[in-house]
Amino acid sequence: MAEYGVIAVTVYFAIFFLCWIGSWAAIEQGVDLVALAKRVGLSSNRLVASLGAWTAAYIFTKLLQPLRLGLTVVLTPLMARLYDRVRRAALSSG
């Protein structure tokens, strides 16, 4: 966190919101997230099926938190390098 700071937080929240909105869109299209959660080994119950789409999508997103954290750890250094490259190119051209 000390090395990447704002970039790590930005990557984390970008993944969070993409997952939340993607889950909501999947629910709206009729995907059964309860069955999907069970298929990938995540614990879930029928409560998710009775909630509103945004709430169910949020719960599913929280179930995916370990995966999102891992993805953040992997993507943050890559995004930091990309950011530095773009910043250097902008400074040298402008």
State the distance between the two ends of the chain, measured CA to CA, in whole angstroms: 30
Q: Which residue in 94, 28, 93, 92 sits closest to 60, CA to CA?
A: 28
Contact 22, 16 (CB under 8 A): no
Instruction: Indicate whether 35 pLDDT > 80.
Output: no
State the pLDDT confidence band at 27, using cuts at 50, 70 and 90: confident
Residue 79 CA to residue 32 CA, distance in Å, equals 33
pTM: 0.75
Domains of the chain, residue spans: 6-93
pLDDT at 42: 61
| 22-56 CB burial, b ≥16 within 10 A, e <16 | ebbebbeeeeebbeebeeeeeebeeebeeeeeeeb
pLDDT tens digits for 64-88?
A: 999 999 999 999 999 999 999 999 9
pLDDT of residue 52: 78
